[in-house]
A and B are shown apart, each in its own frame.
Chain A
């Protein structure tokens, strides 16, 4: 092995940047060295991080008698320990990547020097990074953000599923949380009250998702056909008019709807009474509440599918219809043979995506009914609660964090399983080696 690469590698192994300085890349070496100092600081945090994650704390807050008064002595906060530990470990992993890159870099440059090639100066290095290494450099920032603001929280959530973190007995800082493995899963699926709620809510989630997806699609389709119908004028006007439900911020229109469907004072029942019909318990009866949720969702959701379907319809050549007409095809036959298949072909992947979106349609349920009316046989859930709103209630209202995490994992598995299949079929994801 040549002298330069060996020495540079060993130096960089001892301290980040040393090899680079040896390779006469002073600035680069100094940058690496600062990273090294940060790494040392991080390493001092590591033992406590590992201790925190494995034990989740050993001593909760407690009252101690000092003289005549009781004083609260700060103990370990299990959840803080868990998250802080994870942050440190993730940062450490990133640090290790940089460390390995530093050694490899020293080796490579050393090798080049042996071949008599002068090492890059700092501005040349920068140019190299923005040229050859452009994708890696640019992607690192979004990646870092995703790791700390999305991945870390998700890992945290998955870990919670294996703890007993829940109110009232295992709620820090007064109490400690501990690892309980799969006991939480077992309890959720075997304790009667809980698995009853789980299957009830899951079933309604399924019904809701299917109904919501189909009704908005069909609604959008019908309206699109009407707007695009031959002989209908002011197409632009109609389209703008029908975009309004989509343009109004969802949380506003949902809060408005909640008032409109108010059983006692809302205008909907007022009109029904005006026409001599009795009012309906739109939001207070389990069946009608479910019905209302789906109706309101059509109102909110049809504009998007209408816009897209109008777009698809406008790509169909008029010649096709004329040819069909000459062959004597009725308009129903034309629809079955031309319009419907074309729309389905383009719309199918979007349908799957909207299915996935509806499983997690938190806003609609939360703002419209808040899961109500209350279902006495359910644990912390109402009749219109879907899994995601139940999860929210378990977290925010009743503090059953570990069960909420288990439900979160469950939702994820469902959504991920068919989204991934769907994604892999899309052009954007397939490995396309020549550009279109």
Chain B
């Protein structure tokens, strides 16, 4: 055993390090804790003497469901996020597969153009997309959101491609000798071998559909069709100055599902992120 291991328990450097870690940990947790505490505090003021309220109430949560179609918003949001996840993941992985495993005329050009196009700031184009959706009679539908979010997905192909590039060609050749078609190779070899990447992409597209409040706000006009993000954002814009605790309850309800998802899937997230970092 080395010296440094022996005295690690009383090491001054380690002590400082622990103090640092605990401080950062508190800073990371505090905002979440504060909002949870605010959401169960009676009254509606932003200001409070203590972090932990002297009495607890669930009234704000009840109000949320009574004043707004919050349950409906939940269903809408899950619907939009779920289908966005399915279609985005499908589109971006198949695009990555094609660019990774096939050589065809114009391939490099299409790749570069897709990446360049992806660098334009999106807001101006929202007007055009809005009018396009109007022509397609899709305004104020969830389909339009799913369509628009998924249509943007293929531009993130580079990450998938770099992952697929590492799958050994010999595996694919072997499958082809056994008579597998391109789609079988994709489904049976490429996808199963890239689970961390799939989880990462699925999760980011799910949360992308979950949290968008700008485009969704533009497209969805009837309150019953809104998503959580839009609804919450409207509450904030409308009367959050007077009803802070209600807003806090709304925040908790929106944040909990996604936050849990991220924490449960963090192992995949780390692997997925790392895969991107490795290959640059």
Contacts and interface: CB of A to CB of B under 8 A. Distances in A.
B20 A154 contact: no
Contacts of A150: 117-118, 120, 125, 151-152, 155
Contacts of A257: 31
A181 interface: no
A270 to B, nearest CB: 8
A21 interface: no
Contacts of B112: 420, 423
Contacts, number: 271
Nearest to B275: A311
B132 A148 contact: yes
Contacts of B121: 360, 388, 391, 408, 411-412
Query: Mostly helix, strand, loop or mixed at chain B's interface?
Result: helix
21 contacts: A130-B182, A134-B98, A142-B91, A150-B152, A153-B124, A154-B125, A156-B128, A223-B21, A240-B266, A243-B263, A246-B262, A307-B273, A310-B270, A350-B277, A356-B119, A395-B124, A412-B121, A427-B165, A428-B161, A428-B279, A432-B165
A154 B117 contact: yes
B20 A226 contact: yes
Nearest to B170: A435
B21 A153 contact: no
A23 B239 CA distance: 70
B277 A346 contact: yes
Given A304-B273, A427-B279, A419 B119 contact: yes
A339 B65 CA distance: 52
Interface stretch (A50-58, A104-112, A230-238, A276-284): A230-238
Given A146-B151, A230-B4, A249-B255, A130 B119 contact: no
A350 B121 CA distance: 19
Interface residues of A, number: 102
Nearest to A86: B128
Interface stretch (B10-18, B55-63, B66-74, B187-195): B10-18
Contacts of B116: 416, 420
Which are the 10 A-B pairs with shortest beta-carbon distances? Answer: A153-B125, A247-B262, A428-B162, A142-B154, A153-B128, A231-B8, A149-B151, A265-B47, A135-B102, A145-B151
B14 A245 contact: no
A412 B95 CA distance: 24
Contacts of B183: 130
Contacts of B159: 428
Contact of A243 (B124, B168, B266, B274): B266
Nearest to B213: A251
B199 interface: no
